[in-house]
Structure 1
Amino acid sequence: MVDADPLAESWTPAQIEVMQRLRDWAVGFGELHRHLAVWMRLPVSDAQALGQITWAAEAGTPLSPAELSRRIAMTTGATTILLNRLEDAGHVQRSRESSDRRRVTLRPTPDAREHARRFLAFAGAEIAATLRAADPEELRVVTTFLSKITEAMNDANRRLDHGPAPDRTS
């Protein structure tokens, strides 16, 4: 961990611009999740969970309920209720794919994947066009940078998960 006070640090205009664009991306991504919720006629929390489950399955790293809880910032009990709703609505399947039969894996149903695919085909046209038009070197640089930022964020989250309680004296 670098010993720096982010609020007192003197940032360059380029560093400030990067943080603003990352914030804009996060806000826009959240807005896309809200549109997905409307598209799929789901509460936003359910659509967010379904999005996490679908992306993880597409990446070949399906989620467990515990990992989903962490990603969507819900208790395991609340996540179980959410998963029951998604399963009852035909959006999610729970299976035991591991040799450890206690481990549950979450996957979107074929219908949910197709519904999400139609959403992405409609909503993601501009993003897809931007990615296709990008120079391969530009993509490599951005990927490297975002990987470093993500790792730094993950380090901070791990520290916060295991660190002292926040100071509430002020």
Structure 2
Amino acid sequence: MTALNSLAMSWSDVEVGVMHGLREWAMASDELNRHLSTWMGLPVTDAEALGQVVWAAQSGNPVSPAVLARQIGMTSGAVSVLIDRLERAGYVTRHREGDDRRRVVVRPTATALEGTERFLGFAGAEIATAVRGTPDADLQTIHAFLERMTRAATAANTRLRAEPASTRIDA
């Protein structure tokens, strides 16, 4: 891939608008997560993790602690402590699954599902309306674009994790 200097490039108004829109969505989504944390009586990171656990379970693919750690940017040890807190709060349980029962997944409890359902019932109507009001062709284009942006950000994050500290600005 050709290296591009994004600060030296000329950007069209629509490209700038898209980048601002992505940033604004990320900020609004982050604020919603903070509201969920207040709603559920949890620290923000725990609410973010709980949201991932609920979303995974609802989609039929319960999340493992290792995947959860990657999703929320924590170490496996830190996520283990976080899951312990969520278990003590009555929001998640660990389950051994698979033929050999070695695979551990985290599932939300009925209490967690009820709390997040109430939250989404109160706070999710606008988002659901926006998604449902978007034509399928637009959603497919948006979905493909977001997949490309996620792959690009993931590649950049992978490269940054591997970057020796001596090459960074503050080194």
Q: What TM-score comes out, normalization by structure 2 length?
A: 0.90
CA distance in 2, matches of 1:37, 1:9: 39
Aligned residues with identical type, % of pairs: 49
Residues 1:107 and 2:112 are matched in the alignment: no
1:42–1:169 CA distance, 2 compared to 1 (3 A): closer
CA distance in 1, matches of 2:162, 2:22: 26
Partner of 1:36: 36
Q: What TM-score comes out, normalization by structure 1 length?
A: 0.91
Please list every run of 5 or more consecutive structure 2 residues that lacks an aligned counterpart in the other structure: none
Partner of 1:155: 155
CA distance in 1, matches of 2:96, 2:120: 29
1:124–1:2 CA distance, 2 compared to 1 (3 A): farther
CA distance in 2, matches of 1:114, 1:2: 49
Residues 1:167 and 2:168 are matched in the alignment: yes
Structure 1 position 126, deviation (Å): 0.8
Partner of 2:89: 89
Structure 1 position 131, deviation (Å): 1.6
CA distance in 2, matches of 1:135, 1:169: 47
Match for 2:11: what amino acid?
Answer: W
Residues 1:18 and 2:18 are matched in the alignment: yes
CA distance in 1, matches of 2:101, 2:155: 31
Match for 2:48: what amino acid?
Answer: Q
Please list every run of 5 or more consecutive structure 1 residues that lacks an aligned counterpart in the other structure: none
Partner of 1:142: 142
